[in-house]
Amino acid sequence: MTRDEILHVPSMPAFSPSYPRGPYRFLRREYLIITYETDAEALRRALPEPLEPHPENLVYYEWMKMPDSSGFGDYEESGSGAIATYNGEACNFSIQMYLDDEPPITAGREIWGFPKKWGVPRLKVTKDTLTGTLHYDEERVAMGTMTYKHKSLEKELDTVKAGLGRLNVNLKLLPDVTGAPKVAQLVGYRLEDITVHGAWDGEARLDLIPHVNCRVADLPVKRIVGGRHMIVDFTLPYGQVLHDYLA
């Protein structure tokens, strides 16, 4: 391979790249998001400076079903995040994510710093209940349930869309070949070209089971705020560096 050929490869391995160049388009992506209050000290440990937690220590646990995503295919995902602020601006910070497809795990970690690991999440409608589960190493570590389409947000879709367009933040960490930190950044991005096909609010419940290698229960549930179900299209663009810890 020549130098130009090497620099043209979108991802490793060069002989069979894991993912193509972006941006990446998602169609009919389905969400179950359960927002809750957690322990203040646990949240502070999970939230990197200079991010600040929500005054009520609000976090969210979510399931996502991606039936059609360019470059990544058909997969499902689950994980937790925090409602926070960056320099006074409201943002969502990704804490941990588990999914069942190699290309978005690799691309997510390498490009944006998404905290992705392998897991088996599932989101489905069971009779009258929207149900999400997550298994890690064959053990169930999370289950969320929400009433199915009890409160439509059809008259508030512009507000839902604006919320989806807010700043999202990841902590990107990559070691050098010596093992020393090579990249240590807060990375920000905003979803683009958003279309909301439907959105619903409702009552929800969340059960998180302690596991040493899938620490979703380390942010304990103190109070459920509510659940949201959405079906949306959007484009995931490249991001920008908000804060460089090595600078």
Q: Which of 78, 117, 240 is nearest to 168 (CA)?
A: 240
Give every CB contact of residue 122 below 8 A, 6+ residues apart in sequence. Answer: 63, 76, 132, 133, 134
DSSP 8-state assignment for residue 4:
H
Rounded to whole angstroms, the Cα distance separating 224 from 89 reads: 24
Rounded to whole angstroms, the Cα distance separating 234 from 192 reads: 6
Q: Which of 116, 155, 161, 182 does the annotation list as catalytic?
A: 116
Rounded to whole angstroms, the Cα distance separating 67 from 73 reads: 7
Sign of CA dihedral 100, 237, 47, 31: negative
116 annotated active-site: yes
- What DSSP string describes 131-172? EEEEEETTEEEEEEEEESS-EE-TT-HHHHHHHHTSEEEEEE
Whether 234 contacts 195, CB under 8 Å: yes
Catalytic residue set: 116
